[in-house]
Amino acid sequence: MQIPVTTLKAGTAAEVTALLGPGSSFQRKLRTMGIREGVRIKVVAVHPFAGPLVVEIGGRQITLGRGIARKIMVRAED
Q: Which residues bind another protein (CB under 8 A)?
A: 10, 24-25, 28-29, 31-34, 36, 44-49, 51-52, 54, 58-68
Strands (E), the chain: 2-4, 13-19, 40-46, 53-57, 60-64, 72-75
Given the complex with another protein, which of 39 and 76 has the nearer CB atom?
39
Nearer residue to another protein within complex by CB, 67 or 76: 67
Nearer to another protein, 25 or 78 (CB): 25
45 phi, psi to nearest 5 deg: -150, 145
